[in-house]
Amino acid sequence: MQDCIFCKIVKKEIPAEIVYENDHVLVFKDVKPASPIHLLLIPKKHIPTFFDLQPEDSQIIGEVQRAAATVARDMGLAEKGFRLVSNCMEDAGQLVFHMHYHMLAGRPLQWPPG
């Protein structure tokens, strides 16, 4: 999608610190980290929110979640773990309308979030 910042990162039109990539998934560092490790995991396909998911997107979303485990293992998080969270629309504070998961890790995380 033309004006989507994450689509621009997928197309390498704007820079990002990419840590993992495959045919359907891109993982890069959040520009404003909220924890020592703060990654964004996105489908390369432009899907604005969960409400836009189509039946054929199930495999892509599954791949995003599997990428979380791959990246976490590679980053040495297999023992301590991580949090995967996705903000959907206004009340959750979604700012970028290209579906994504935040991976937060590297410190004990409070629950529930604010």
Whose structure tokens read 């980053």? 75
What is the nearest approach in angstroms of ligand 5GP to the Cβ of residue 6? Answer: 8
Q: Which does 95 bind (CB under 5 to 8 A by kind): Zn ion, ligand 5GP, none?
A: ligand 5GP
Does position 31 interact with ligand 5GP (CB under 6 A)? The reply is yes
Cβ(19)–Cβ(70) below 8 Å:
no
Q: Which of 35, 38, 46, 109 binds Zn ion (CB under 5 A)?
A: 46
Identify the residue among 39, 44, 98, 103 touching Zn ion (CB under 5 A). 98
Contacting residues for 50 by C-beta, under 8 A, at least 6 apart = 86, 88, 99
User: Which 8-state DSSP code applies to residue 78?
Assistant: T
Kindly state the smallest distance separating residue 77's Cβ from Zn ion, in Å. Answer: 27
| 6 binds Zn ion per the rule CB under 5 A | yes
Q: For residues 114 and 111, what is the distance between their CA atoms, to the nearest angstrom? A: 8
The CA distance from 38 to 41, in Å, is: 10
Could you list the active site residues? 100
Residues within the interface to Zn ion (CB under 5 A):
1, 4, 6-7, 46, 98
